[in-house]
Structure 1
Amino acid sequence: MGELGVGAGLASLAFWGFIAAAVVATYWDTIRKREVQHETLRRLIESGQDVNDELVDKVLNMGSGNGRVDRDFKVTAFWIMPVAPGLAAFAYILGTQVPEAQTPLMGAAALLAVLGIGFYIAGKVLERWYVAEQV
Protein backbone atom coordinates (compact mmCIF):
# COMPACT_ATOMS: atom_id res chain seq x y z
CA MET A 1 0.00 0.00 0.00
CA GLY A 2 1.33 3.44 -0.90
CA GLU A 3 2.38 6.16 1.48
CA LEU A 4 -0.55 8.37 2.46
CA GLY A 5 1.51 11.32 3.63
CA VAL A 6 0.80 14.33 5.76
CA GLY A 7 -2.33 15.37 3.84
CA ALA A 8 -4.26 12.28 4.90
CA GLY A 9 -3.27 12.83 8.52
CA LEU A 10 -4.38 16.45 8.41
CA ALA A 11 -7.67 15.50 6.79
CA SER A 12 -8.26 12.90 9.49
CA LEU A 13 -7.42 15.41 12.21
CA ALA A 14 -9.78 17.97 10.68
CA PHE A 15 -12.61 15.43 10.50
CA TRP A 16 -12.29 14.33 14.12
CA GLY A 17 -11.83 17.94 15.21
CA PHE A 18 -15.12 18.81 13.52
CA ILE A 19 -16.87 15.90 15.26
CA ALA A 20 -15.48 17.01 18.63
CA ALA A 21 -16.54 20.62 18.01
CA ALA A 22 -20.07 19.52 17.08
CA VAL A 23 -20.39 17.44 20.25
CA VAL A 24 -19.06 20.22 22.47
CA ALA A 25 -21.35 22.79 20.81
CA THR A 26 -24.38 20.57 21.38
CA TYR A 27 -23.61 20.16 25.07
CA TRP A 28 -22.84 23.86 25.43
CA ASP A 29 -26.17 24.80 23.83
CA THR A 30 -28.09 22.42 26.10
CA ILE A 31 -26.37 23.77 29.20
CA ARG A 32 -27.06 27.39 28.20
CA LYS A 33 -30.75 26.66 27.58
CA ARG A 34 -31.02 25.01 30.98
CA GLU A 35 -29.34 28.00 32.64
CA VAL A 36 -31.82 30.36 30.99
CA GLN A 37 -34.73 28.26 32.25
CA HIS A 38 -33.34 28.30 35.79
CA GLU A 39 -32.74 32.06 35.58
CA THR A 40 -36.36 32.57 34.51
CA LEU A 41 -37.60 30.54 37.46
CA ARG A 42 -35.30 32.40 39.84
CA ARG A 43 -36.63 35.77 38.65
CA LEU A 44 -40.22 34.58 38.99
CA ILE A 45 -39.58 33.50 42.57
CA GLU A 46 -37.73 36.73 43.43
CA SER A 47 -40.55 38.86 42.02
CA GLY A 48 -42.92 37.35 44.54
CA GLN A 49 -45.25 35.73 42.01
CA ASP A 50 -47.08 32.56 42.92
CA VAL A 51 -45.03 29.69 41.48
CA ASN A 52 -46.99 26.44 41.23
CA ASP A 53 -46.03 23.09 39.73
CA GLU A 54 -47.82 23.84 36.46
CA LEU A 55 -45.82 27.04 35.94
CA VAL A 56 -42.53 25.30 36.77
CA ASP A 57 -43.31 22.53 34.25
CA LYS A 58 -44.26 25.10 31.62
CA VAL A 59 -41.01 27.05 32.08
CA LEU A 60 -38.83 23.92 32.13
CA ASN A 61 -40.47 22.55 28.97
CA MET A 62 -40.05 25.75 26.96
CA GLY A 63 -38.32 25.14 23.66
CA SER A 64 -38.42 21.36 23.94
CA GLY A 65 -40.43 20.86 20.76
CA ASN A 66 -44.10 20.26 20.23
CA GLY A 67 -44.12 16.92 22.02
CA ARG A 68 -45.67 15.07 19.09
CA VAL A 69 -43.35 12.15 18.48
CA ASP A 70 -45.60 10.77 15.74
CA ARG A 71 -44.97 13.85 13.61
CA ASP A 72 -41.25 13.62 14.27
CA PHE A 73 -41.22 10.03 13.01
CA LYS A 74 -43.15 10.99 9.86
CA VAL A 75 -40.85 13.93 9.13
CA THR A 76 -37.86 11.63 9.52
CA ALA A 77 -39.46 9.14 7.13
CA PHE A 78 -40.10 11.84 4.54
CA TRP A 79 -36.47 12.92 4.78
CA ILE A 80 -35.05 9.39 4.48
CA MET A 81 -37.32 7.76 1.88
CA PRO A 82 -36.45 10.04 -1.08
CA VAL A 83 -32.76 9.32 -0.56
CA ALA A 84 -33.25 5.58 -1.22
CA PRO A 85 -34.24 5.84 -4.92
CA GLY A 86 -31.55 8.48 -5.45
CA LEU A 87 -28.93 6.19 -3.99
CA ALA A 88 -30.26 3.29 -6.09
CA ALA A 89 -30.00 5.42 -9.24
CA PHE A 90 -26.47 6.39 -8.24
CA ALA A 91 -25.64 2.70 -7.72
CA TYR A 92 -27.00 1.84 -11.16
CA ILE A 93 -25.02 4.62 -12.87
CA LEU A 94 -21.82 3.91 -10.94
CA GLY A 95 -22.32 0.17 -11.54
CA THR A 96 -21.78 0.67 -15.26
CA GLN A 97 -18.23 1.89 -14.55
CA VAL A 98 -17.40 0.02 -11.31
CA PRO A 99 -19.52 -3.15 -11.15
CA GLU A 100 -18.31 -4.19 -7.69
CA ALA A 101 -19.69 -0.95 -6.19
CA GLN A 102 -23.26 -1.56 -7.34
CA THR A 103 -24.26 -4.26 -4.84
CA PRO A 104 -23.15 -2.45 -1.65
CA LEU A 105 -24.82 0.78 -2.78
CA MET A 106 -28.05 -1.05 -3.63
CA GLY A 107 -27.91 -2.61 -0.16
CA ALA A 108 -27.53 0.83 1.41
CA ALA A 109 -30.46 2.10 -0.68
CA ALA A 110 -32.59 -0.83 0.46
CA LEU A 111 -31.61 -0.20 4.08
CA LEU A 112 -32.63 3.45 3.79
CA ALA A 113 -35.95 2.48 2.21
CA VAL A 114 -36.69 0.00 5.00
CA LEU A 115 -35.74 2.56 7.65
CA GLY A 116 -37.96 5.18 6.04
CA ILE A 117 -40.90 2.80 5.89
CA GLY A 118 -40.28 1.79 9.50
CA PHE A 119 -40.25 5.41 10.66
CA TYR A 120 -43.48 6.08 8.76
CA ILE A 121 -45.20 3.03 10.28
CA ALA A 122 -43.99 4.05 13.76
CA GLY A 123 -45.46 7.51 13.16
CA LYS A 124 -48.80 6.01 12.13
CA VAL A 125 -48.91 3.76 15.20
CA LEU A 126 -48.09 6.65 17.53
CA GLU A 127 -50.65 8.84 15.77
CA ARG A 128 -53.35 6.38 16.84
CA TRP A 129 -52.18 6.68 20.44
CA TYR A 130 -52.45 10.48 20.33
CA VAL A 131 -55.96 10.24 18.85
CA ALA A 132 -56.97 7.75 21.57
CA GLU A 133 -55.70 10.14 24.28
CA GLN A 134 -57.72 13.06 22.88
CA VAL A 135 -61.02 11.17 22.98
Structure 2
Amino acid sequence: MQDMGLNGLGTGLAAFGFWMFIAAIVIAGMWYDIARKRSQNEILRRLIASGQKIDQDMLGKLFSATTGGGERLQRELMVYGLVTLFVAPGIALLAWFLSLQYPPALYPVLGAAVLVGFIAIGLIVASKVAGRMPGEGASGPRDRRGR
Protein backbone atom coordinates (compact mmCIF):
# COMPACT_ATOMS: atom_id res chain seq x y z
CA MET A 1 0.00 0.00 0.00
CA GLN A 2 1.34 3.41 -0.86
CA ASP A 3 1.81 6.32 1.51
CA MET A 4 -1.05 8.83 1.36
CA GLY A 5 1.04 11.70 2.86
CA LEU A 6 0.87 15.09 1.14
CA ASN A 7 -0.27 13.64 -2.16
CA GLY A 8 -3.44 12.32 -0.52
CA LEU A 9 -3.99 15.66 1.19
CA GLY A 10 -3.73 17.49 -2.14
CA THR A 11 -6.19 15.12 -3.75
CA GLY A 12 -8.60 15.57 -0.87
CA LEU A 13 -8.33 19.35 -1.05
CA ALA A 14 -8.92 19.27 -4.80
CA ALA A 15 -12.06 17.16 -4.34
CA PHE A 16 -13.24 19.46 -1.55
CA GLY A 17 -12.65 22.51 -3.76
CA PHE A 18 -14.60 20.94 -6.62
CA TRP A 19 -17.63 20.21 -4.44
CA MET A 20 -17.48 23.66 -2.87
CA PHE A 21 -17.53 25.16 -6.38
CA ILE A 22 -20.61 23.09 -7.26
CA ALA A 23 -22.27 24.16 -3.99
CA ALA A 24 -21.49 27.82 -4.74
CA ILE A 25 -23.11 27.53 -8.17
CA VAL A 26 -26.24 25.95 -6.72
CA ILE A 27 -26.50 28.54 -3.94
CA ALA A 28 -25.96 31.39 -6.42
CA GLY A 29 -28.75 30.04 -8.61
CA MET A 30 -31.11 29.81 -5.66
CA TRP A 31 -30.13 33.32 -4.55
CA TYR A 32 -30.83 34.69 -8.03
CA ASP A 33 -34.24 33.00 -8.15
CA ILE A 34 -35.19 34.42 -4.76
CA ALA A 35 -34.07 37.92 -5.83
CA ARG A 36 -36.09 37.65 -9.06
CA LYS A 37 -39.23 36.63 -7.18
CA ARG A 38 -38.67 39.40 -4.65
CA SER A 39 -38.42 41.88 -7.54
CA GLN A 40 -41.70 40.60 -9.01
CA ASN A 41 -43.42 41.00 -5.67
CA GLU A 42 -42.01 44.51 -5.29
CA ILE A 43 -43.33 45.52 -8.73
CA LEU A 44 -46.78 44.13 -7.88
CA ARG A 45 -46.75 45.87 -4.50
CA ARG A 46 -45.91 49.22 -6.10
CA LEU A 47 -48.62 48.80 -8.74
CA ILE A 48 -51.20 48.04 -6.07
CA ALA A 49 -49.99 50.90 -3.84
CA SER A 50 -50.25 53.37 -6.73
CA GLY A 51 -53.85 52.33 -7.31
CA GLN A 52 -53.36 51.16 -10.89
CA LYS A 53 -55.70 48.55 -12.25
CA ILE A 54 -53.97 45.20 -12.73
CA ASP A 55 -55.42 43.01 -15.47
CA GLN A 56 -54.42 39.58 -16.75
CA ASP A 57 -52.47 41.00 -19.71
CA MET A 58 -50.27 43.08 -17.42
CA LEU A 59 -49.63 40.13 -15.12
CA GLY A 60 -48.86 37.92 -18.12
CA LYS A 61 -46.33 40.41 -19.45
CA LEU A 62 -44.70 40.81 -16.04
CA PHE A 63 -44.36 37.11 -15.36
CA SER A 64 -43.40 36.06 -18.89
CA ALA A 65 -40.63 38.68 -18.91
CA THR A 66 -39.15 37.30 -15.70
CA THR A 67 -39.92 33.58 -15.95
CA GLY A 68 -38.89 32.91 -19.53
CA GLY A 69 -42.20 31.74 -20.94
CA GLY A 70 -43.21 31.31 -24.55
CA GLU A 71 -40.65 31.76 -27.31
CA ARG A 72 -37.95 32.70 -24.82
CA LEU A 73 -38.30 29.31 -23.12
CA GLN A 74 -38.21 27.55 -26.48
CA ARG A 75 -35.06 29.42 -27.51
CA GLU A 76 -33.31 28.75 -24.19
CA LEU A 77 -34.09 25.02 -24.32
CA MET A 78 -32.76 24.85 -27.88
CA VAL A 79 -29.53 26.65 -26.93
CA TYR A 80 -29.00 24.39 -23.91
CA GLY A 81 -29.71 21.33 -26.04
CA LEU A 82 -27.27 22.33 -28.76
CA VAL A 83 -24.50 23.16 -26.28
CA THR A 84 -25.04 19.86 -24.51
CA LEU A 85 -25.12 18.02 -27.83
CA PHE A 86 -21.61 19.27 -28.59
CA VAL A 87 -20.38 18.24 -25.13
CA ALA A 88 -21.19 14.56 -25.79
CA PRO A 89 -18.50 14.03 -28.49
CA GLY A 90 -16.01 15.82 -26.25
CA ILE A 91 -16.70 13.31 -23.50
CA ALA A 92 -16.34 10.48 -26.03
CA LEU A 93 -12.97 11.89 -27.07
CA LEU A 94 -12.01 12.10 -23.40
CA ALA A 95 -12.94 8.42 -23.06
CA TRP A 96 -10.60 7.54 -25.90
CA PHE A 97 -7.72 9.55 -24.40
CA LEU A 98 -8.31 8.00 -20.98
CA SER A 99 -8.37 4.52 -22.50
CA LEU A 100 -4.85 5.06 -23.83
CA GLN A 101 -3.60 5.18 -20.24
CA TYR A 102 -6.25 3.05 -18.55
CA PRO A 103 -8.16 0.79 -21.00
CA PRO A 104 -11.01 -0.21 -18.62
CA ALA A 105 -12.11 3.47 -18.50
CA LEU A 106 -13.29 3.45 -22.13
CA TYR A 107 -16.79 2.00 -21.76
CA PRO A 108 -17.87 3.77 -18.56
CA VAL A 109 -16.87 7.19 -19.91
CA LEU A 110 -18.42 6.39 -23.31
CA GLY A 111 -21.60 5.58 -21.37
CA ALA A 112 -21.46 9.04 -19.83
CA ALA A 113 -21.07 10.53 -23.31
CA VAL A 114 -24.14 8.64 -24.52
CA LEU A 115 -26.09 9.81 -21.48
CA VAL A 116 -25.14 13.45 -22.16
CA GLY A 117 -26.16 12.96 -25.80
CA PHE A 118 -29.59 11.70 -24.76
CA ILE A 119 -30.00 14.64 -22.40
CA ALA A 120 -29.19 16.97 -25.30
CA ILE A 121 -31.74 15.28 -27.54
CA GLY A 122 -34.30 15.56 -24.74
CA LEU A 123 -33.66 19.30 -24.41
CA ILE A 124 -34.04 19.81 -28.16
CA VAL A 125 -37.31 17.82 -28.19
CA ALA A 126 -38.51 19.81 -25.17
CA SER A 127 -37.77 22.99 -27.12
CA LYS A 128 -39.97 21.82 -29.97
CA VAL A 129 -42.76 20.77 -27.61
CA ALA A 130 -42.59 24.05 -25.67
CA GLY A 131 -43.04 25.93 -28.93
CA ARG A 132 -46.30 24.10 -29.64
CA MET A 133 -47.81 24.21 -26.16
CA PRO A 134 -50.33 26.87 -25.23
CA GLY A 135 -50.25 27.87 -21.61
CA GLU A 136 -48.29 30.05 -19.26
CA GLY A 137 -46.21 31.64 -21.99
CA ALA A 138 -49.31 32.40 -24.07
CA SER A 139 -49.10 36.12 -23.33
CA GLY A 140 -45.72 36.24 -25.06
CA PRO A 141 -44.89 37.40 -28.58
CA ARG A 142 -46.66 34.47 -30.27
CA ASP A 143 -50.12 35.76 -29.35
CA ARG A 144 -49.53 39.16 -30.91
CA ARG A 145 -49.20 37.45 -34.28
CA GLY A 146 -52.54 35.76 -33.82
CA ARG A 147 -51.36 32.25 -32.95
Q: Normalising by structure 1, report the TM-score.
A: 0.70
Aligned counterparts of 2:56 and 2:132: Cα–Cα separation in 1: 29
Aligned counterparts of 2:127 and 2:119: Cα–Cα separation in 1: 12
Matched, 1:106 2:106: no
Quote the residue 1:64 is aligned against: 67
Aligned counterparts of 2:109 and 2:40: Cα–Cα separation in 1: 46
Deviation string, structure 1 residues 72-93 (Cα, Å, up to 9, x no partner): 4332321122222222233223
The gaps in structure 1 that reach 5 residues or longer are: none
Matched ranges for 1:45-124 at <5 A: 45-68=48-71, 69-124=73-128
Which residue, out of 3, 21, 41, partners 1:38? 41
Q: Do the aligned residues in 2 keep the contact of 1:41 with 1:59 (CA within 8 Å)?
A: no
Partner of 1:49: helix, strand, or coil?
coil
The gaps in structure 2 that reach 5 residues or longer are: 135-142
Q: Normalising by structure 2, report the TM-score.
A: 0.66
Aligned counterparts of 2:10 and 2:129: Cα–Cα separation in 1: 49
Matched, 1:11 2:14: yes
Q: Do the aligned residues in 1 keep the contact of 2:92 with 2:110 (CA within 8 Å)?
A: yes
Partner of 2:112: helix, strand, or coil?
helix
Q: CA deviation at 1:129?
A: 4.4
Partner of 1:46: helix, strand, or coil?
helix
Computed over aligned residues only, the root mean square deviation of the Cα atoms, in angstroms, reads 3.0
Aligned counterparts of 2:17 and 2:86: Cα–Cα separation in 1: 30
Deviation string, structure 1 residues 77-121 (Cα, Å, up to 9, x no partner): 211222222222332233233212222222222222233233333
Q: Do the aligned residues in 1 keep the contact of 2:70 with 2:130 (CA within 8 Å)?
A: no
